[in-house]
Structure 1
Amino acid sequence: MIEKSRVPALEIPLQREESAHEPLTYWQLVWRRLRRHRLGVIGGVVVGILVFIALFADFLSPYDYATQQRQFLFASPTVVHFFSDQGFSIQPFVYGLREITDPVTFQQYYVEDHTKKYPIYFFIQGEPHKVLGLIPTRLRLFGTAQPINTLGQIFIFGTDKFGRDVFSRTLIGSRVSLAIGPFSLIISLFLGILFGGLSGYLGGWVDMLIQRLIEVIQSFPQLPVFLALAYVLPPGWSPTLVFFGIIFIFSFIGWTGLARVLRGQFLALREQEFALAAKAVGASNLRIIFKHLVPNTMSYLIVISTLAIPATILGESGLSFLGLGIREPMTSWGLLLQQANSIPTLTLYPWLFIPSTFIVISVLAFNSLGDALRDAFDPFSIQGGRTRT
């Protein structure tokens, strides 16, 4: 009787434990390890916010990025108030600006005029724009509902030397700075997979020829090559052509390292049974590479893609800062920093350096996300946490 009563008591918990720990798929394990990486999760959230800002920059910005308000040249950032002499106000407001000339340096600057108060409205009608480049509208997230070039404007990040709102230009500039990375990465991935796949899968003289080509390209120092290629872009090109020219420059340099790593992976994968079976049934070399071999390198491609975007953001910012990248009237984070290229300018107008914080935040966010993905895909990683199947 005693032995019979013990058997169910031992079997029931074991059955529950087995059902509670069902085997997880590879991608489920990756997702679980990724969620445990706190910095990676924070980086992913920040990247998502930056992408949202880039997509809806026109709606989020109070002005068009090219609008010039000559009455407010180098205006300092506007302070949003909730308290006035009358007490607390649930509706935020800004004071009007009054221009003053310093009697010693003769420098002109702006101070708040507390006699004029302008409330801030949300979802107001402003300058026309297109949401996602498709839907025409005049709706903007916030503003003071005052006509352009009149008192009562709101400049969150101040204005530049032409009276353009730095906040609006920073939001719009995120499109270019964040788009160059993925676009150039797509081309680099295609070239790296194509040449790396052919080199590793075919071998022989094809492998030798492609590897010598890669060595020739990598033998040139990257920074002078970037500067030289950017310098030879025709000055008559439109900003759109310059944008695609910058993408070509980064793609031309970036595919070589990827191709070398993929070559080593394809050398091992081509001897696997699934690759030999595909070859036995008559599949072409390109089909075997893109259909069977590339999916087995997907984890590496995802990680390297995330880690390559920050380098592109920094590269574009550097070229634009030196005047060799994005040109007016288009804008980017690097181009915005071009006005803050001297100590006197930064001393007098420090708000012109604000776009640099977006560069730092985006680079840190992408690097954190890339590190988290690397740890999540690596089964021997300690940071990602132990997995249990």
Structure 2
Amino acid sequence: MSRFLYGGRVSLFAGLLGAGVTVLLGLCVGAAAGYYGGWRDDLLMRLAELFLALPWLYLLFALRAFLPLAVSPLEAFLLIIAVLGAVGWARPARLVRAVVLSAKERDFVRAARGFGATDGYLLRRHILPATSTVLLTQAAILVPQFILAEMTLSFLGLGVPEPVPSWGNLLSGLQQYSVLVSYWWMYLPALIMLPFFLGYLGLGSELQERTEPYKIERSLGSLE
């Protein structure tokens, strides 16, 4: 039970941190592409299309297998976060770009630019807040996916190594028939996935509903 609880902390933190890195990278790339346009937009979006066309799960395996396997648990954890962030940024970047393209053409943004507002001020004050709903929705989708990705990597021996437990390497014992028939509690990490994922998606939907009125209020305040 102690290994199960500690492993849950590792797997959940990997999903949260990986989703945070992905959303932050997607925000930076999408905002730069949508706001500045031109050759930057073309280059960044062609790169995003390349990442979207690749099967991200196999790309995840390939990137992690290419990196050193004989590393400490902390280094392996950080490598997983880096790999997750590297393969998942393209879709949030495209969605953020679409929001930024629409937001930068609004009248209050044009008025602020006419009064001499800098690019940094416009992005920070008027444009990037409009992407909050998109980013929250993407985070709600990515966190369960990345937890499952970490579990898959650890299950296959490419994630956090023993003796540090995670839900993935705890499940790796189920590859042995003797464990399957004799130790039923080894199924717990697999059984906990469904209620956790459903609960997290419900929490994401609730947060999105709570932030929507705030977003409308900010837009009306900017128009005034």
TM-score range for the pair, normalised by the shorter chain length: 0.7 to 0.9
Question: Residue 196 of structure 1 contacts residue 261 of structure 1 at CA under 8 Å; is this kept in 2?
Answer: yes
Q: 1:286 to 1:245 in 2, by over 3 A?
A: farther
Quote the residue 1:169 is aligned against: 3
Give the letter for the 1:211 counterpart: M
Residues 177-211 of structure 1: per-residue CA shift (max 9 Å, x gap): 11112211222122111110111112222211111
Residues 282-316 of structure 1: per-residue CA shift (max 9 Å, x gap): 33334422332111221222222122211111111
Are 2:129 and 1:295 aligned?
yes
Are 2:81 and 1:258 aligned?
no
* Mean Cα deviation higher: 323-332 or 364-373: 364-373
1:354 to 165, 173, 188: 188
Taking the TM superposition and a 5 Å limit, the aligned residue runs for 1:300-311 are 300-311=134-145
Residue 373 of structure 1 and its aligned partner are, at CA, apart by: 4.0
Residues 350-378 of structure 1: per-residue CA shift (max 9 Å, x gap): 22112222222221211222344455667
Q: Which has the higher helix share?
A: 2
Cα RMSD (Å) of the superposition? 1.9
Quote the residue 1:238 is aligned against: 72
Q: 1:197 to 1:170 in 2, by over 3 A?
A: same
Quote the residue 2:22 is aligned against: 188
Query: What percentage of aligned pairs have identical amino acids?
Result: 36
Residues 45-64 of structure 1: per-residue CA shift (max 9 Å, x gap): xxxxxxxxxxxxxxxxxxxx
Give the letter for the 2:13 counterpart: A
Residues 82-128 of structure 1: per-residue CA shift (max 9 Å, x gap): xxxxxxxxxxxxxxxxxxxxxxxxxxxxxxxxxxxxxxxxxxxxxxx
Higher relative CO (Cα under 8 Å, sequence separation at least 6) belongs to: 2
Give the letter for the 1:183 counterpart: L
Q: 1:290 and 1:362 mapped to 2: Cα distance?
A: 34
Residue 340 of structure 1 and its aligned partner are, at CA, apart by: 1.3
Quote the residue 2:149 is aligned against: 315
Query: In terms of Rg, which structure is larger?
Result: 1
Taking the TM superposition and a 5 Å limit, the aligned residue runs for 1:1-389 are 167-374=1-208
Question: Residue 188 of structure 1 contacts residue 255 of structure 1 at CA under 8 Å; is this kept in 2?
Answer: yes
Q: 1:247 to 1:224 in 2, by over 3 A?
A: same
Structure 1 regions of 5+ residues with no counterpart?
1-166, 380-389
Q: 1:347 and 1:330 mapped to 2: Cα distance?
A: 25
Q: 1:248 and 1:281 mapped to 2: Cα distance?
A: 41
Give the letter for the 1:303 counterpart: T
Residue 343 of structure 1 and its aligned partner are, at CA, apart by: 3.7
